[in-house]
Structure 1
């Protein structure tokens, strides 16, 4: 067993990891899960222990492996990346604070907001209160050494900690606080949540206080899971001490893991935040919506070939880059994995529990690890593929093929790391489930990006403008649902050219390496006149809008938990039409947040009378389904009154599904909250085009979305299916099979239209 590539392992199988397989992860390399009652070994004793896991630094590997006989699990600790680069009016939020106070009556007073990110420019005027006090209650910098004795009794997780009083002294020149946000991402995020904004870039909740954790090292754009969890734990501990409600924003994520809420990171976040009054978590959906980073299909017992494309490129400066492909499958029968390079090199038929590699030690590297099912991921097996550049020159361009032989069941694969060469899938491409982890967590409110602005006033003169479709989901916004068919993202918020606070240390004129640097190098100045604010884009900028809204809802009722807040935010959102879909969509979730409507619903202002057949909402998690997709699809329903407001609890939902052939299995409705219900529909014997019909309290709803359960040519009773079938609600991948020797039919997704092709 090769430690560097293992998802899970028995302790007696672990040996020293070959140096060639050391991943690019910063900081922690391995996560060692100890048996109950066992303390960390010597060199790991001083390292962070979170939820039973010890994060092990790269240099400690040799010593720590001596203790693996006492470990129940060893796995990689993967880095999480920023979803980096004011749509307040788009979400019903007046920019003038006096007008906002009059309209909403809430500005976030008494609520804490935790930001685990790249730090904050604590000298920025946006983070001072209108009464002159500093609103950063605590600043923890994990990239700096501990200030021993500065804050006795406070766990600082090895970082340097300053209080609001100390930051105020530093502003007066009475002490030195060396923490800087040189990336600029955290400052921008905090500004969207609660910056004062000088009247034109005010945050959603400008009276909240902040707890900021700088969790990246130096100017890096990535984080370890350990540092993220340390940051979350620190924030919750400080909020508990203060007796105040708290919202945590995570504008970061990655594609490692099965995207079903089952990763260690997601489980630990659930333990800390789910069903806990006064606590909420908001996470970005990621920026992979337009990238071919997700592939899915079904194993047929034969050989399925998953193409991985490395485009032609010129090698840049720096260390060798690599791509990681993370595949998960549900087959109950044995599967063998092979990897074939464009030059014909092969790693042949790797069985469960085995790993193999070619090259390394200065040459290009191909590696495959095939992990067996464990208690951690029941019913799932993992295959991890690594493609690494040589020390000199480029990785061979062309099509790499991962062959899966045997087994029956679904597989999902993600490009967890694309490398500098931009690896992508060349087949089985699925436009859905491109949302990142931990946005897939059941404990998180997940947020995609909405286009509310196409330009901004630059300090360099002029108004840089981009041709985009206003009033629509951003093309880059990560798509849902989760692998287990939960509705993610939950909602959309403004995420293109969002104006917010600029960290002075991240101004691209003085620091071209900041996250504003790419725009600057392209000849576009993202900074506004005066140098205090800048424009950015990404779901990173969208997530803090919802974090700010969550803070207002906690000010309204500090006892709410994340589930209650998510239910209000979903049910109060504005409909977003994508194609023919009028309700839940993998790109748009439940719609665009509406601050005023959310607060009204939070006050108990609901619809009255019978359910409205025309105003009530119905949507599907997917609208095309493979007949062997055991998880089926989920029907999402929000019953509304004639005025459009959600109805109070007490209603019941019934669903019928009619198809051209056979019968589907319709399960009982389940509540996702007071205002949202879901019903799972499994394929059963149903085939062809069908309609899903919903009634609430006996009232048949007008919306009856179409669902296609695809069939083989033989099942359709002809030589092949129609030349073209529209996907009316939203495109989704449903691969029947890859062509073998030019034969067979393939279900393709092309510009939102589903087609059959030989």
Structure 2
């Protein structure tokens, strides 16, 4: 057990996501399995003697994807102030737990304390600290209780008692927006200032995964399995204390088919089925990043040409190409000097490795015909030591009916240098897990002038599902940062935090006041959509705004009319 307690941190172990286990104990000690839920597990395998990490050996879905944070007069625009101040509503989030899976929280900040100085934080699970007591049912990290936090706040050196910090400030900012207490001197108030808070601080991604995904040094990167464990922790905590729960995720990744078929998306769909639980995720900030390409190989046309500009010298990068079944494609890569890989005609899963003579670049192309639950085709292209210049990908339609496909580069923050598609497409840029069907996905807009946030990722999903569900304020929003300071930030993670606070107010009304004591995430989402503000000049739903802009007061107005 002690050996496996180190496994989540050790570079000598691979972390693999599996939906079930069929391995003998002699190969996989029981203690080295982290159960997430009945259908999801994380397996920690000693890498010594195992094949090198790649999707050819371990499958695409088993290798955890890496995520990063999505941030870069809000409450009035969202209809929050009217709901807080309306005498018959006067909602503040009382009795509701808002859980965050993020970078941590500045627990000493005044906005997370009651009027008597005690903390409003119920629990902190710091995955990055190994020295303390782990949460029940989990292999790693340290759990801090409200009692420990209150004790720390009474001392002159709180960090000696609870040595938890938020070095990045992202989690502190988002928790403050969703649930911060009023701070009149800063003209600040969170959406649900009476809600309880639970924070999961994610540990950094392991170095072997950072190398696999070519993540630049210093970039904030977190693992899919750690995020899922954080969500599982929050659901168990809410069940233990019998609290309605809002789960907030302000993280994103460009991995996956962008149709909501990733492991974490399936898990969030499952969690969204729990009664009195709301799940809110950010849409992403990829609309203008030039990281998406949409292509067509028209009927009778042999191929399409995709150009990728590598502006800076980098260690490497990868591209994911996805096509809906039964489409089948193959690709050829042409270097900036004109050297070309050999053409292949794909019949089954396969791999092509090519080293360019003049560029000293190696390209690995993995083909997966039936690699996901949908049977879609994935072509996974890795460029190692790519030469600067324009790289060309020739896409050949081996079996083409609709002739449509998508390509994605890694998300901003997880890609080194300036790498982009020459003919990029701003649509279908919702980041994972924002493409998951069940959670509420929030895009961002400027509440000051009513315009969409320029970088707010656009829908729809690659399968045509409407995402984002709606937009919420996300531009130049004031919030708390470590050190009892306040600053303005922008991003869809901010829009999602405001939405999470609104969901907490709605859960207070529904559950704590007895109007719907078995409410579901789907009901909350649909009520928010019904109450969303829609302009006559726009057609809804649309790729930028979804079904409109969040307005909680209008949601209650709609309920009154029905």
Tell me, yes or no, if structure 1 residue 324 matches structure 2 residue 321.
no
3-state DSSP of counterpart to 1:94: helix
* Distance in 1 (alpha carbons) for counterparts of 2:363 and 2:52: 25
* Cα distance in 1, alignment partners of residues 421 and 333 from structure 2: 14
TM-aligned CA deviation for residue 302 of structure 1: 4.0
SS class of match (2:74):
coil
Shift of residue 591 of structure 1? 1.2
CA contact (8 A) 1:115 1:248 kept: yes
Task: Give the distance between the partners of 1:389 and 1:44, measured in 2 at CA.
Answer: 40
Deviations 1:202-233 (A, max 9, x none): 11111110110001429852211101000000
Say if 1:197 and 1:347 are closer, same or farther in 2 by CA, change over 3 A: farther
Q: For 1:101 and 1:134, how far apart are their aligned partners in 2?
A: 27
- Shift in Å at residue 282 of structure 1? 0.2
Cα offset for 1:27?
10
Q: Which secondary structure state, in structure 2, belongs to the residue aligned with residue 448 of structure 1?
A: strand
Residue 389 in 1 paired to residue 346 in 2?
no
Taking structure 1 as reference, are residues 306 and 188 closer, same or farther at Cα in structure 2, changes over 3 Å only? Answer: farther
> CA separation of 1:172/1:363 partners in 2, compared to 1, >3 Å: closer, same or farther?
farther
> What residue number does 2:367 align with?
370
> Mapping of 1:408-427 within 5 angstroms?
408=400, 409=402, 410-417=404-411, 419-427=415-423
Structure 2 CA distance for partners of 1:28 and 1:417, relative to 1, 3 Å:
farther
**Is residue 31–residue 77 contact of structure 1 (8 Å, CA) maintained in 2?**
yes
**Residue 409 of structure 2: SS of its match in structure 1?**
strand
Aligned CA distance change for structure 1 residues 52 and 494 (closer, same or farther; 3 Å): closer
* 1:344 aligned partner: 338
**Equivalent residue in structure 2 for 1:166, among 119, 132, 148:** 148
CA distance in 2, matches of 1:137, 1:238: 9
Q: Which position in structure 2 is the counterpart of 1:217? A: 204
Q: Contact 1:433/1:479 (CA < 8 Å) preserved in 2?
A: yes
Once the 2 structures are TM-superposed, how far is the Cα of residue 277 of structure 1 from its aligned partner? Answer: 1.0
Distance 1:27 1:247 in 2: 36
Once the two structures are TM-superposed, the CA of residue 102 in structure 1 deviates from its matched residue by 3.8
Q: 1:334 to 1:574 in 2, by over 3 A?
A: closer
Residue 143 of structure 1 and its aligned partner are, at CA, apart by 1.0
Cα distance, 1:308 vs. partner?
Answer: 3.2
CA–CA distance in structure 2, aligned partners of residues 599 and 414 of structure 1: 40
Matched ranges for 1:235-254 at <5 A: 235-254=234-253
Partner of 1:524: none
- Partner of residue 307, structure 2: 308
Q: Deviations over 1:97-140 (max 9, x none)?
A: 9x736474110000000100000001101001234331110000
Distance 1:101 1:322 in 2: 55
In structure 2, the CA distance between the partners of 1:71 and 1:431, relative to structure 1 (3 Å rule), is closer
Q: Contact 1:32–1:54 at 8 Å: present in 2 too? A: yes
Distance in 1 between residues matched to 2:441 and 2:13, nearest whole Å: 26
Q: 1:427-506 maps to which residues of 2 (within 5 A)?
A: 427=423, 429-453=424-448, 470-504=449-483
Alpha-carbon distance between aligned partners in 2 of 1:27 and 1:210, rounded to the nearest angstrom: 35
Q: In structure 2, what is the Cα distance between the partners aligned to 1:342 and 1:117?
A: 40
Structure 1 Cα separation of the partners of residues 106 and 60 of structure 2: 39
In structure 2, relative to structure 1, the CA distance for the partners of 1:35 and 1:229 (3 Å cut) is: closer
Indicate the SS of the match to 1:205: coil
Q: Distance in 2 between matches of 1:324 and 1:598?
A: 43
Does 1 or 2 have the higher relative contact order (CA < 8 Å, sep 6+)?
2
Rounded to whole Å, the distance in 1 between the matches of 2:504 and 2:41 is 31
| Partner of residue 89, structure 1 | 76
1:587 aligns with 2:544: yes
Q: Which runs of 5+ in 1 are unaligned?
A: 1-25, 454-469, 505-530, 607-647, 649-758
Q: 1:45 to 1:339 in 2, by over 3 A?
A: farther
Q: Distance in 2 between matches of 1:110 and 1:599?
A: 20
Distance 1:333 1:125 in 2: 56
Q: How far apart, in 1, do the equivalents of 2:125 and 2:540 lie?
A: 41
What are the superposed Cα offsets for residues 273-299 of structure 1, whole Å, 9 maximum, x if unpaired? Answer: 22x211110000000112222222333
Aligned to 1:84, what secondary structure does the other structure show? coil
- Which secondary structure does the structure 1 equivalent of 2:410 belong to? strand
* Shift in Å, 1:45: 4.6
Residue 527 of structure 1 aligns with which residue? none
Q: What SS does structure 2 have at the residue aligned with 1:368?
A: strand
Aligned length: 517
Shift of 1:565: 0.5
Please tell me whether the aligned partners of residues 449 and 493 of structure 1 are also in contact (alpha carbons under 8 angstroms): yes
Structure ranking higher in helix proportion? 2
Deviations 1:409-448 (A, max 9, x none): 3212222356322322223x43321111101111210001
Paired residue for 2:498?
A: 545
- Does the 8 A contact of 1:43 with 1:60 survive in 2? no
- What CA distance in whole angstroms lies between the structure 2 residues aligned with 1:157 and 1:475? 41
| Distance (Å, rounded) in 2 between the aligned partners of 1:496 and 1:203 | 16
Say whether residues 1:285 and 2:283 are aligned partners. yes
Distance in 2, matches of 1:322 and 1:277, equals 44
Regions of 4+ moved over 4 Å: 26-30, 34-37, 63-66, 70-74
Q: Deviations over 1:366-400 (max 9, x none)?
A: 221111114x332311011122336xxxx321232
Indicate if the aligned counterparts of 1:354 and 1:371 stay in contact, CA closer than 8 A. yes
The residue matched to 1:228 in structure 2 has which SS?
helix
Check conservation: 1:347, 1:356, Cα contact below 8 A: no
What whole-Å deviation, never above 9, does each CA across 1:623-646 have from its counterpart, x for those lacking one?
Answer: xxxxxxxxxxxxxxxxxxxxxxxx
Give the conservation status (yes or no) of the 8 Å contact 2:296–2:304.
Answer: no
Name the TM-score, length of structure 2 as normaliser: 0.84
Task: Find the residue that maps to 1:447 and give its secondary structure.
Answer: strand
Q: CA deviation at 1:201?
A: 1.6
| Structure 2 residue aligned with 1:568 | 527
- Structure 1 residues 258, 321: closer, same or farther in 2, change over 3 A? same
Contact 2:332/2:342 (CA < 8 Å) preserved in 1?
yes
Residues 35, 191 of structure 1: CA spacing in aligned structure 2 closer, same or farther, 3 A cutoff? Answer: closer
Asked if 1:533 corresponds to 2:486, the answer is yes
Deviation at 1:234, TM superposition (A): 0.2
Residues 333 and 478 (structure 1), Cα distance of their counterparts in 2 relative to 1, 3 Å cut: closer
Name which one, 1 or 2, has greater alpha-carbon Rg. Answer: 1
Where do 1:249-268 residues align within 5 Å?
249-268=248-267
Aligned position for 1:519: none
**CA deviation profile, 1:489-526 (whole Å, cap 9, x unmatched):** 0111111111111113xxxxxxxxxxxxxxxxxxxxxx
User: Could you say if the C-alpha distance between residues 224 and 407 of structure 1 is closer, same or farther in structure 2, counting changes exceeding 3 Å?
Assistant: same
Are the equivalent residues in 2 in contact too, given 1:434–1:478 (CA < 8 A)? yes
The 1:247/1:398 distance shift into structure 2, 3 A limit, reads same
Q: Please give the per-residue CA displacement for 1:1-28, whole angstroms capped at 9, x wherever unaligned.
A: xxxxxxxxxxxxxxxxxxxxxxxxx998
- Secondary structure of residue in 2 paired with 1:349: coil
Q: Please tell me whether the aligned partners of residues 333 and 391 of structure 2 are also in contact (alpha carbons under 8 angstroms).
A: no
Counterpart among 344, 357, 365 of residue 353 in structure 2: 357
| 3-state DSSP of counterpart to 1:282 | strand
Alignment correspondent of 1:145: 130
